[in-house]
Chain A
């Protein structure tokens, strides 16, 4: 079992998968990341991060029915697992905690 720590890209990918629910596959995830995060990302990098998350058991995947628009190839659809959800929650909590601890004066300049 790999560590449960989430990298920045991993976290984004996980959130995007959750966002896209039921239609979370390579190209859709790539486009969503590009649109929401305003950054460009290659399809290979998307696949790589999805694979990494799967290895960590944060994602599960299944093949869709064959489609016509992609040369007849099926989509590999991803879904966040329970432990994926737990990792996201932990990460969010950690951040909230840190945010709430910032004294007001720290950002006033």
Chain B
């Protein structure tokens, strides 16, 4: 027979008046039985709990063992707590500063961590959505790791594996010119997506069709924010549906729907969605059925009972079956799934289309935040323990007039909650004040609401935070209470008691722990700063100073006058005063280049498939960027040809020389390699340079002298850009390429954006370092003060007996300094190994300099000595008469 949940009864029995309990329990049981008949087991149990809990509302029914006396005591505790805080202002301030700093930082970091870990959790079935990862191997080596893959993958998986419930495929598109009602708009980021996309990614419709919105060619769905840009006074968003719209001169497209913007914590961001079939129509049937067009992305939803690991095992065979170890695409293809919920925290994928961040960084932040609050609480424990001993008399008196252990503990609990409550309130104020600075640092729109609305799993975050707070506060307040209550009342009142050895060691251990963290953080921030400095000032092998990059005039016909147009533009801009030179290329440095997978070199007897980056440039490119030649010649105008088939000369970099098995640069010149179905002649070899940040290795690059409408212009200036010069360039651009937006960036800024995360880490670690030193030093200071108060008499006596100031200083500092030294002995090696780990994320990094860690430690020792001396001197210089008199 079903019985009511027992635990709640047991709990309630503790609170209810014993005389009434039996009747209450009986009544609850009776109601439970009748509920059981009417509504079934589950509902009856729930009702039972609700009914039971409801009893707690009525104080009349609750137990009153300590009766009114409790309130009086509580008031007394509060009064004593407040008085005590007032009397010991130093102590209270030290504790408060530490706690406020720790809590403020933790609250801010928690916002960041909760936001970064909340990505895509809002989607329906988010736990069953995966993205397809495609790793490519050639000759046993991993040549590409990413989500970019062939258009056939999603549909084939869906057909081959019954576990696949749904899939969607897409390809991103950037800088699209949208024409609506004779007005032109520029969109930065969108997707060509198949018809499964809207339901797959829980797209929320505002106006228009929800089914078949992306079915067929020339269909487009606008997001709310983009739709708002298009509508003019008087018309509503809904009016857009069914209207024609043009994209880059193609169309008309049919607006089938207006949908909600993807939330900020969505991995995929877009301004509109274009039907995938349009892409197939524009790019060719290969976008639908090719096994070697490799620019597509797939997401898969597995059925509820399917497991990812089992599915991944099956995929091992899938790669071999369709790609036959390199015959099809030039590489051995391996496929596996990654849960969408992990996608945002994985920044390792090449050619990423989603918003990603370094997950390790997020967890590191969380760990540091936890450490900072721990240090603050350790201070609290340490100071409180010392003080508890000073206040032992108060405890002794309480005990002798009949306080039991629990009541002594209550006193400490209340003090802790009062002080931490004040600290929490102050830190919330600090958070409100610091939020703009923090948001600028993270580049995110965060606020305290992020904390309130967040969820961890299914549990609301505020509840977790509350429980953690209560738990931690209880622990940190019970520790001093526990120590004091252990002494016998008599000993306390007589004043003849001493701290036990284990307690002293624990106290020292806590101080050591704090300083270990401080050492690690100081070393880290110095070394991170040095690495950032190194990366930004490193000679990259090309010159990106004062280089303005103009976006490609893509609204342009590739016709017989195209070359002349480009040349005319280059000449006119070069002619402007203040401009040195202009070049056109399909990419600039600092972003990933495209890749060629099936290269065969005439120098490789085994004729293997090889992979290299490529870039399309005009003949001025290497000269403008000051890239040196290792052998042969640079491009000349005659290397270009309007007919792409007739272009056959290429440049390669030194890394490509190695890849293609040429012995040295001069040997490569004049030799041929094969890709894209024809032979190419190497006319020159250029020096290696850092095409990407120093996180990345220098890779092989092939330069091809193609011209296309997707070439942007790099403009080298004589000096910093002036407004006059920019508008002069804009005039030429708009005259030569009507219908195109003039927009530019500076190459140096764009290139250094690759270091945004590193610079952020640097800034954050500075803040953390400052805080950890502040809190640790405050703690040390507090301990020194407490110890000296106890030693006042001893100092007086020593002085009377002839000790001088320096002897006293050494005597008093020695204990504390040894703690700091132990911390450094542990923290130093620890930071060394941590930083070695960090260094491995860079392809090019400075060695970790042990001297710097030593310097960091020295700084810490110096700060500690100053702290100790600052306080010790005061006491040591006192007139011994006063010290001896003090009681």
Contact = CB atoms under 8 A, between A and B. Distances in A.
Interface of A: 25-27, 30, 42-45, 47-48, 51-52, 55, 63, 67, 69-71, 73-76
Given A44-B54, A47-B61, 17 more contacts: A25-B27, A27-B30, A43-B27, A43-B28, A43-B51, A44-B55, A44-B58, A45-B58, A47-B20, A47-B23, A52-B60, A70-B26, A70-B27, A70-B33, A73-B23, A73-B26, A75-B23
Which residue, A44, A69, A74, has most C-beta atoms of chain B within 10 A?
Answer: A44
19 contacts: A25-B27, A26-B24, A27-B31, A30-B31, A43-B31, A44-B54, A44-B58, A47-B20, A47-B58, A47-B61, A48-B60, A51-B60, A63-B23, A71-B25, A71-B26, A73-B26, A73-B29, A76-B22, A76-B26
A47 B60 CA distance: 9
B22 A47 contact: no
Nearest to B3: A71
Contacts of A45: 54, 58
A47 B28 CA distance: 11
B30 A70 contact: yes
Interface in B101-130: none
Contacts of A30: 27, 31
Interface in B59-84: 60-61
Given A43-B27, A70-B27, A48 B22 contact: no
B500 interface: no
Contacts of A27: 27, 30-31
B55 to A, nearest CB: 4
Contact of B54 (A42, A63, A67): A42
B61 A48 contact: yes
Nearest to A48: B58
Nearest to B19: A76
A75 B54 CA distance: 20
A55 B20 CA distance: 13
Contacts of B60: 48, 51-52, 55
A42 B50 CA distance: 10
B57 interface: yes
Interface string B1-21: 001000000000000000010
Contacts of B54: 42-45
Interface residues of B, number: 20
A67 B61 CA distance: 23
A98 to B, nearest CB: 31
A26 B25 CA distance: 10
A51 B24 CA distance: 12
Contacts of A52: 60
A76 B20 contact: yes
Contacts of A74: 22-23, 26
Given A44-B54, A75-B23, A70 B29 contact: yes
Contacts of B20: 47, 51, 76
Contacts, number: 72
Nearest to B17: A51
A26 B27 contact: yes
Contacts of B25: 71, 73
Give the interface centre of B27, B55, B57 by most chain A CB atoms within 10 Å: B27
A63 B22 contact: yes
The 6 A-B residue pairs whose C-beta atoms are closest, nearest first, are A73-B26, A76-B23, A26-B27, A44-B54, A48-B58, A71-B29
A51 B59 CA distance: 11
A73 to B, nearest CB: 3
A67 B78 CA distance: 49
A101 to B, nearest CB: 36
Nearest to B32: A71
B227 to A, nearest CB: 49
B22 A69 contact: no
Nearest to B55: A44
Contacts of B23: 25-26, 47, 63, 73-76
A63 B19 CA distance: 10
B16 to A, nearest CB: 9
Nearest to B29: A71
B342 to A, nearest CB: 46
B55 A47 contact: yes
Contacts of B24: 26, 43, 47
Contacts of A25: 23, 27
Contact of A69 (B3, B30, B57): B30
A45 B24 CA distance: 11
Nearest to B60: A51
Contacts of B55: 44, 47
Nearest to B23: A76
Contacts of A47: 20, 23-24, 27, 55, 58, 61
Contacts of A48: 57-58, 60-61
Contacts of A76: 20, 22-23, 26
A69 B51 contact: no
A75 B61 contact: no
Nearest to B28: A43
A44 B22 contact: no
Contacts of A26: 23-24, 26-27
A20 B574 CA distance: 105
A42 B24 CA distance: 12
A73 B58 CA distance: 22
Interface in B204-240: none
A42 B55 CA distance: 9
Could you say which of A45, A51, A70 has the most chain B C-beta atoms within 10 Å of its C-beta? A70
A52 B59 CA distance: 11
A44 B51 contact: yes
A82 to B, nearest CB: 23
A75 B26 contact: yes
A38 B378 CA distance: 59
B56 to A, nearest CB: 8
A26 B55 CA distance: 13
A55 B17 CA distance: 14
B353 to A, nearest CB: 56
Contacts of A69: 30, 33
B21 to A, nearest CB: 9
A73 B26 CA distance: 5
A26 B24 CA distance: 8
Contacts of B33: 69-70
Given A44-B55, A70-B27, A51 B22 contact: no
A71 B61 CA distance: 21
A85 B709 CA distance: 100
A47 B25 CA distance: 11
Interface string B35-67: 000000000000000010011011011000000
A56 to B, nearest CB: 12
A75 B29 CA distance: 11
Contacts of B28: 43
A27 B24 CA distance: 9
A47 B17 CA distance: 12
B31 A73 contact: no
A2 B40 CA distance: 43
